[in-house]
Chains A and B, each alone.
Chain A
């Protein structure tokens, strides 16, 4: 039982990190960024190469934390580049054109990485398999605990940034009304770039963590997690950041309990069953509100 909760929290925190970027980008430019899962994959690969480079110097948790920061910066910049090259020129284009472009970006990232790294899965150079300790009946390692703590710190930091700073205020203003944001003197393009940086950096962090947790990475690993992050974002109410965090954790727990009951091959059925239930029964999500329009 506690083991299931722990596993659920662990994978749920990756989902939450990826879902946050999904939700932020949707919130600010109303784009379902189908390439977002691939940024997570990119993070995992950048982490892989950095860890390989570092392998003579340090290893284990310290190496992982350094690499986490590097991968976050790199994926953050990649996110900014993707927005700049692929999405910004389409700012005035119909929604569908941008959506299809996102699918194109997704394929480009997947097959770009395949070209460089090859199609075979890679074994992650750092594993979280230190001495397991018993905690409330669950077996977990100190490394795992640290990573979950890092994930929560990142989410907390993002929340503070969005809710308490001038930059975050501008992000929420654009999400509420881009035209009025322009008229208030907000450099909208700059703020959108920042949102892509943050969202992509979080996805990159999740990619490194997932590599270390599952131990194997491959160029298509972002596809399913992209869909799951989308599910988590929908569960929480898309565009709503606390909702995305909650949705990610809820999805992780649900999957963990679902597979605990029925076996691993049903895991994705639970996730996407959940998506369907929410889309039908409560499309605004747990925390999403219906838009308020007033005279």
Chain B
């Protein structure tokens, strides 16, 4: 049984259908890329998995549990981590507080602080800036913080929404390297990327969304070689 499974999912915003009849899955330990043009429904799909919007039809399950009745917080407790588009770190709060908030679902504050220390070890740049207002970090540092924050809860599935958007190529490589490392330590990844080449380089499989519908999907290697994908995304 796959870790994450969507079957026949429809999502609409006030009557306007953003995603139609979408079925996909992420297996244990996989990296799966979700590709598509702007407005294709990628972020909407992640929002539905996290419980921020509710599908009007279909079923989403994580680890076999149907998510329909669960609050976003309950979905986090079940093992979903979501690094949103645009990073969305908590401005006005320190880097350390941002990381601690990632562990909100844990009642034990000492355990949270142990995990914060562990993430700081993984991402030393955050350790240096621990006491700094998160809003003063550079875009790349904010992205690392947003990922670090999601890691504190030790998710089984990490969803990243365009984590390299707006970053310099070097920083983008750092971020994708981090994603790979996180995956190698056993976390499954659903990666939404504009940069299809990089995403398909990292992922084992990929899905292409176009205007809310599932288009091509399959092996990353196959997609990378597909003429239609090359024309649309790899240019």
Contacts and interface: CB of A to CB of B under 8 A. Distances in A.
A173 B93 contact: yes
A180 B88 contact: yes
Contact of A184 (B51, B91, B92, B101): B101
Interface in A185-201: 185-188
A111 B2 CA distance: 58
Given A166-B109, A176-B92, A184 B84 contact: no
A166 B71 CA distance: 20
Contact of A294 (B52, B73, B139, B153): B139
A166 B102 CA distance: 11
A212 B50 CA distance: 51
B104 A180 contact: no
A182 B135 contact: no
B82 interface: yes
Nearest to B153: A185
B230 interface: no
A166 B52 CA distance: 23
Contact of A176 (B51, B84, B91): B91
A176 B90 contact: yes
A91 interface: no
8 contacts: A172-B97, A179-B52, A180-B88, A180-B89, A183-B150, A185-B72, A185-B105, A187-B73
Which 3 pairs across A and B sit closest by C-beta, in order of nearness?
A185-B76, A185-B105, A180-B88
B84 A183 contact: yes
Contacts of A291: 91
B89 A182 contact: no
Size class of A's contact patch?
20 to 34
B76 A184 contact: yes
A114 interface: no
B50 A177 contact: no
A180 B139 contact: no
Given A183-B50, A187-B71, A187-B73, A176 B93 contact: yes
Given A169-B93, A294-B139, 17 more contacts: A172-B92, A172-B97, A173-B93, A175-B92, A176-B91, A177-B88, A179-B52, A180-B84, A182-B51, A182-B72, A182-B73, A183-B72, A183-B82, A185-B104, A292-B135, A294-B137, A295-B166
B90 A180 contact: yes
A187 B51 CA distance: 12
Nearest to B165: A295
A176 B146 CA distance: 14
B142 A170 contact: no
Interface in A244-295: 291-292, 294-295
Contacts of A180: 84, 88-90
Interface of B: 50-52, 71-73, 76-77, 82, 84, 88-93, 97, 100-102, 104-105, 109, 135-139, 142, 149-150, 153, 166
Q: Specify the main secondary structure of chain A where it touches its partner.
A: helix
Nearest to B112: A166
Contact of A170 (B77, B82, B89, B104): B104
A187 B77 CA distance: 11
Interface in A128-187: 166, 169-170, 172-173, 175-177, 179-187
Contacts of B91: 176-177, 291-292
A166 B150 CA distance: 17
A156 B101 CA distance: 23
The listed residue with most B CB atoms (<10 A of its CB), out of A170, A175, A177, A188, is A177
B98 to A, nearest CB: 8
Contact of A186 (B73, B82, B109, B135): B73
A33 B79 CA distance: 36
Contacts of B139: 294-295
Contact of B90 (A166, A177, A182, A295): A177
Contacts of A172: 90, 92-93, 97
A180 B136 CA distance: 18
A248 to B, nearest CB: 22
Contact of A169 (B84, B101, B153): B101
Contacts of B71: 187
B97 A169 contact: yes
A166 B104 contact: yes
Contact of B101 (A175, A186, A187): A186
